[in-house]
Structure 1
Amino acid sequence: MVGVITTLKDAEISAVVDSDGRSLACHVDQRPPGISLRQCLVSAFRPTNETGNFWTHFLPIFVFAFHFLEVFTWEGVPEPSNPFFYPFWNYFLGVLYLLLASSLAHLLNSMSLIIREICFFVDYGTISAYTVGSSLAYYYYIHPQAGIPDFGFKGQNSTQRKSLNADEEGWHSASSPTQFQLFFESLYIPSSCLVAIICVLICCNTRQCWRKYRYAVRTLVFLLPFFISSTPIFYRLQSPSASSLSSSSPQLFSTMAAFFYRHCFWLVVSAIFNISKIPERFSPGNFDIWGHSHQWFHCCTFLSILDELQMIKVEMRALLLNPTLILSPATPPRLPGPTLWSTYGVMVFLQGCIACIIALFGWQAYQIYGPEQKKLKGH
């Protein structure tokens, strides 16, 4: 029957584990390479080593979408197509691609050795795209008054808006920009894109090189985009006065900081699970279906994304609903507001670069696994 999957047991795993790259800590119910698309889809509902890996990133798509769309129910917000939301939609696409690619990579990777490699190349690419989506959201929402112009939000007339205080006027002053301002205005987004591309190259390379330390390399390599993309938040945390616009801003600032610290906490916990391979390292065979480290890694990374989303929403609510946080029309922003080219254009360009990298490594995978795949089909 087409829908029946014969999973590998202990005695059979050693024959494929080296070439297939499966975890030695997983002892039973591993899907064999070379199964059909239909069998892969059916395996999502059967107890295999990839079942939990699929669901722990597929179900969060709907949870994330629910919390994301909640923004558009706020009173007085502009239409979803308003340029104000361009960075937010790009952030949504980055997270969607990450969760969808991760879940499908785990679901479809047993179709062939070549498809397995390509699935995870795409997975690494979407992680990098997500970091740039986060950077776009940070660029326009997290940094104090970073180029969000007046889009004519409902319920906020010009008499309600207050001018910026001395701290904000200092930021917009063109006479003496600081080094951070120059970096942020000129290099922040390009740096995020460059680092994302470097991360894809390194992670894809770990499929063949540095295999002994591949999990540590893949985990540590994403520290760089984290630090680059989080630059606006570090600035806010080190310069609280930059957000002191009203008596309510300290509460807003502390809320943003709390979500960021939780975001970091879940990232650290996810890294520990990914590198240590706990709990299956200490109890091989008992966590093959549910509860192994990669599933906890998935859960923790999603919790970090959820806290990141809440952090961004806090800043967006402040910009949208608090008149004292809207730029005065008399004080033009130093940074340009979001446009199609500066948001969607950046993501399309990045995706094109990542697609070229995936194509290159995919061709290399074909050269390596093509002959072996033909042998498997011959049997």
Structure 2
Amino acid sequence: MATVVMEQIGRLFINVQQLRQIPQLLESAFPTLPCTVKVSDVPPVFRELHIRAGYRQPDQSWRYYALTLFQRHNETLNVWTHLLAAFIILVKWQEIAQTVDFLRDPHAQPLFILLLAAFTYLSFSALAHLLSAKSEISYYSFYFLDYVGVAVYQYASALAHYYYAIEEAWHARVQGLFLPAAAFLAWLTCFGCCYGKNASPELPKVAHKLFQVVPSALAYCLDISPVVHRIYSCYQEGCSDPVVAYHFYHVLFFLIGAYFFCCPHPERFFPGRCDFIGQGHQFFHVFLVVCTLTQIEALRTDFTERRPLYERLHGDLAHDAVALFIFTACCSALTAFCVRQRVRASLQEKDE
């Protein structure tokens, strides 16, 4: 009996020793990555206000930047928040597809476009924060791609709000103008963000931000107007629709996120202490993700419960809306490409 007990203890000791070797095995499985550097060690284009450390070294291999997904740096949380959210969107997409026929039901197409656009903007954003540190042209290229995703999502949100969430009174006011205006403002957002990112280095950061914020704010005011009108009408009449609460929180989460996007808080008050966690942009990402998931849940419910209303209001509008979505995406991508070519030529002149 004593021999058996000693054998079991010996095996347990061996297992414990093997467990202790796991961190060493994991460390040897991945190449050693260069340490992050301070703000003074990277070109000005990569520097963020009040963020003094945690920058990745430029001019490394693509493999290095891909592997920094698992490294602690000042963009790690920005990458993972949108990467995980993109995965959640895929899971939701699969779940919704079990009960919704996206191919044969034309009234389901705006919901499909919203899911596609949400996945696109989240994926493009994650790529921008992960890979943009390689070089100046990579920085501009990936952020311009990110802005294409933003424009696509803006139009998709406007379409879904107009199609599923709108009330008859507001539909009568904006019919015929809403979607073309939403497409134009989505493109204007892409152009403004690209131009703002590429604006003259002599301009203050505030001016750069205005080019990004003003078109986005105009687009959001139009895109959200069906939802705001519905919330106002509902509470004015003594609201009993539970979906309106989802729409209310969806708007609230976006506004909180927009505040953190516009204002570098709290790092402004604690410079150097929010280099890895606690940046305003990280809070912006979190609130934007919660906003998107709440929005999708609200519109998914509207798609199910308000079908008689939107079928009567819109008819075959979904087919035209899909064409306008493709047109908006193509115009935004072409704009981003043209601005990128201009940036590339400018960088080449500077190198010469």
TM-score, reference length from structure 2: 0.81
- 1:237 aligned to 226, 231, 239, which one? 231
The alpha-carbon deviation at position 280 of structure 1 amounts to: 1.9
Instruction: Report what 1:195 is aligned to.
Output: 185
1:319-338 → structure 2 map (5 Å cutoff): 319=306, 325=308, 333-338=312-317
- 1:9 aligned to 37, 40, 44, which one? 37
Contact 1:267 1:300 (C-alpha < 8 Å) held by counterparts = yes
- 2:175 aligned to 173, 185, 194, which one? 185
- Aligned residue for 1:203, secondary structure, equals helix
Instruction: Report what 1:117 is aligned to.
Output: 140
Letter in 1 for 2:195: N
Q: For residues 179 and 152 of structure 2, what CA distance do their matches in structure 1 show?
A: 12
Q: Calculate percent identity across the aligned residue pairs.
A: 22
Quickly say closer, same or farther: Cα 1:258–1:47, change in 2 above 3 A.
same
- 1:287 aligned to 274, 284, 290, which one? 274
Q: For residues 30 and 261 of structure 1, what CA distance do their matches in structure 2 show?
A: 38
Contact 2:155 2:183 (C-alpha < 8 Å) held by counterparts = yes
Q: For residues 316 and 149 of structure 2, what CA distance do their matches in structure 1 show?
A: 26
Q: For residues 318 and 194 of structure 1, what CA distance do their matches in structure 2 show?
A: 30
CA deviations over 1:233-264 (Å, ceiling 9, x no partner): 2332344499x9xxxx9533xx2321222112
Contact 1:17 1:24 (C-alpha < 8 Å) held by counterparts = no
The alpha-carbon deviation at position 362 of structure 1 amounts to: 0.2
The alpha-carbon deviation at position 211 of structure 1 amounts to: 4.3
- Aligned residue for 1:52, secondary structure, equals helix
The alpha-carbon deviation at position 44 of structure 1 amounts to: 0.6
Q: Which has the higher contact order (CA 8 A, sep 6+)?
A: 1
The alpha-carbon deviation at position 365 of structure 1 amounts to: 1.1
CA deviations over 1:181-227 (Å, ceiling 9, x no partner): 45532111100000111111111111133542134552343221111
Letter in 2 for 1:359: F
Instruction: Report what 1:366 is aligned to.
Output: 344
Contact 1:58 1:100 (C-alpha < 8 Å) held by counterparts = yes
Contact 1:52 1:295 (C-alpha < 8 Å) held by counterparts = yes
- Aligned residue for 1:206, secondary structure, equals helix
Q: For residues 70 and 193 of structure 2, what CA distance do their matches in structure 1 show?
A: 30
Instruction: Report what 1:106 is aligned to.
Output: 129
Matched, 1:79 2:101: yes
Matched, 1:263 2:242: no
The alpha-carbon deviation at position 290 of structure 1 amounts to: 2.3
- Aligned residue for 2:258, secondary structure, equals helix
Q: For residues 230 and 295 of structure 2, what CA distance do their matches in structure 1 show?
A: 15
Q: Which runs of 5+ in 2 are unaligned?
A: 1-29
Matched, 1:131 2:154: yes
**Which structure features the higher share of helix residues?**
2
- Aligned residue for 2:153, secondary structure, equals helix
TM-score, reference length from structure 1: 0.76
Contact 1:260 1:308 (C-alpha < 8 Å) held by counterparts = yes
Matched, 1:93 2:116: yes
Quickly say closer, same or farther: Cα 1:306–1:334, change in 2 above 3 A.
closer
Q: For residues 46 and 114 of structure 1, what CA distance do their matches in structure 2 show?
A: 23
The alpha-carbon deviation at position 229 of structure 1 amounts to: 1.1
The alpha-carbon deviation at position 100 of structure 1 amounts to: 0.3
Q: For residues 34 and 349 of structure 2, what CA distance do their matches in structure 1 show?
A: 24
Instruction: Report what 2:198 is aligned to.
Output: 208
Instruction: Report what 1:162 is aligned to.
Output: none
- 1:223 aligned to 197, 204, 217, which one? 217
Instruction: Report what 1:140 is aligned to.
Output: 163
The alpha-carbon deviation at position 17 of structure 1 amounts to: 3.9
Quickly say closer, same or farther: Cα 1:124–1:288, change in 2 above 3 A.
same
Instruction: Report what 1:344 is aligned to.
Output: 322
Quickly say closer, same or farther: Cα 1:39–1:3, change in 2 above 3 A.
farther
Q: Which runs of 5+ in 1 are unaligned?
A: 145-170, 172-177
Letter in 1 for 2:132: N
CA deviations over 1:64-89 (Å, ceiling 9, x no partner): 3334444345xxx5523222211111
- Aligned residue for 1:35, secondary structure, equals coil
The alpha-carbon deviation at position 105 of structure 1 amounts to: 0.4
Count of paired positions: 319
The alpha-carbon deviation at position 4 of structure 1 amounts to: 4.6
- Aligned residue for 1:222, secondary structure, equals helix
Q: For residues 78 and 43 of structure 1, what CA distance do their matches in structure 2 show?
A: 38
